[in-house]
Amino acid sequence: MNSKGKYQSFPVIKLENRSWPDRQITQAPIWCSVDLRDGNQALATPMTVAKKMKMFDLLVSCGFEEIEVGFPSASSTEFEFVRRLINEDRIPEDVTIQVLVPAREDLIKTTIESLVGAKKVIIHLYNSTSPAQRKDVFGLEKPDIIALARQGAVWVKQYSEGLSLQGTEVSFEYSPESFSATEVEFALEICESVIKVWQPTPDHKMIINLPETVEVATPNVYADQIEWFCQNISSRDSIIVSVHTHNDRGTGVASTELGLLAGADRVEGTLFGNGERTGNLDIIIVALNLFSQGVDPELDFSNLEPIREVYESCTEMTVPPRHPYSGELVFTAFSGSHQYAISKGLRARRKKLLRGEKVWDVPYLPIDPTDIGREYKEVIRVNSQSGKGGVAYLLENSYGIYLPRDMQREFGLISGKLIDTLGREVTAIDLKLMLWKEYIERVEPYTLDNFTSINNSEGCQCDSVVCYHDQRLLLSGKGNGPIDAFILSLHNHINVRVADQYYEHTLGEGSRASAITYIQLLFPDGEKRWGVGVDESTEMASIKAIISALNRA
């Protein structure tokens, strides 16, 4: 692909002594959800009033204190929704609703009418400022664009006086739309003209929103634009600088985080990044990114699943399975090496907690899934790309089956071939069935018909009946214990010994819990084979494990 001559690099910002690269985000910004406006206007089928009510309640429950509820002058549905919120007293005391309006007198009047009776509102005025918008869309020069913004600010101030007199707490917000593609000097000039009209103070601040309406450069350029603006705007102590990013280049989150480092105080975005084209900033990602760094995001995403369900039902959109934090597969590892590292990390985590070490540091898991309502059982899944670690983890966490390390390698090869043949993801049930079929349910060529043992001062005497093909073997032996005695009783038939690999543990809880035993036998030709036995008696489980290993040889 040759783009030379058709596309060009966005010019860098001349910013001396930039400081944002050395900063760290240490507190949550002011959050403003624009799901009911930016998100809604991007839907093929916009939300009904009922769905907007449901979404509004969800946003309140998440802790948003500023919510842009719509564009009241755009349609009767939008106007009706704002009126219902106010008339039905659905807006909590600590929540400020925000409405959007362009710099047109008739639309400003309608917008103000929709807000009568509200307790706290933000009136968000905007007009486009980029060269392409000025020249190709509006056919206006810079002075004309400034005059348009100034006049809009005058109308907003004039028509909102009635709201203030009726007891509504009114705040103003101005956006030079397409700020990211606007010359920073001109963006500053037009914002200063609006500031002169609205005359904010440290006690009654106004918001200047600097939208990355379209991503036109790398995130560091946007950060430079924000820092340059913060350095040069007058009355900085009376201004709340807000960022509003989109995701055209796939870096909306990075642009927002760098914008906060560059001096922004406030963030506008949507749940799961719903919005025009490639979407708005996903506020959930930025909030949980802060959370992962030990910063309280001051939003509640501790149970993402019901949040996702409401979002999907209201918007008829779906959250992709690989979507950060929220997707179905984001805490899932298919790679064998990843699975092994996660399982080891989770075990180490449990031991650290017992020692009072609370810091989360588990490989491949940036946060604890339970912090956002997920479960560990979702972490590891198994397919043909998986390894022994993932297989062992599922058996351990689903059934309490702790395969010895060396046996994990043996069973990993066996199960891998079966999984590859199936050509699909397998469950813990599938793996247990494979384990039982391979190790426990084998009945040829050896079958144990009877076994007894007696311990005395000379050791252990065992007697057993073992069928081998059509032969009935009457075996007897003495040893240090039942396992040793049984192995020695086999020597007239086959000379095997335990290869110093013996493990046992209980399956389940209570008095009826079974024992599971793992034994590795060494055969005369040097071959080693694992066997597994399950029985209510640990002794019998061990003898069954020996028979299992013999059958697998």
5-14, 210-219, 383-392, 401-410: segment of lowest average pLDDT: 383-392
Structure confidence at residue 551 (pLDDT): 94
Q: Where in the chain is the domain with CATH 1.10.287.1400?
A: 336-440
In order of 122, 153, 198, the CA distances from 193 in angstroms are: 19, 9, 9
> CA torsion angle for 13, 17, 22, 25 (degrees, to 10)?
-60
Q: What is the chain's length?
A: 553
Q: Where in the chain is the domain with CATH 3.20.20.70?
A: 27-315
- Record: fold of 336-440: Helix Hairpins (1.10.287)
Residue with token string 């103070």: 201
Confidence of residue 424 (pLDDT cuts 50, 70, 90): confident
Residue with token string 């110093």: 500
| DSSP state, residue 263 | T
3-state secondary structure of 362: strand
Record the tokens describing residue 259, joined without a space: 């914008």
How confident is the prediction for the chain on average, in pLDDT? 93
Nearest one of 465, 493, 494, 497 to 479, comparing CA atoms: 497
Q: Is the peptide bond before 445 cis (omega within 30 degrees of 0)?
A: yes
CA distance 466 to 494: 13
3-state secondary structure of 401: coil
Q: Is the pLDDT of residue 130 over 80?
A: yes
Q: Is the pLDDT of residue 513 over 60?
A: yes
3-state secondary structure of 534: strand
Q: Is 319 left (phi over 0), alpha (psi -120 to 50) or beta?
A: beta
| DSSP state, residue 138 | I
Strands 459-468 and 30-33: unpaired
Structure confidence at residue 259 (pLDDT): 98
Q: Is the pLDDT of residue 386 over 70?
A: no
CATH architecture of 446-552: 2-Layer Sandwich (3.30)
Helix/strand/coil percent split, the chain, to 5: 45, 20, 35
Structure confidence at residue 420 (pLDDT): 83
CATH code: domain 27-315 is 3.20.20.70
46-60, 224-238, 404-418: segment of lowest average pLDDT: 404-418
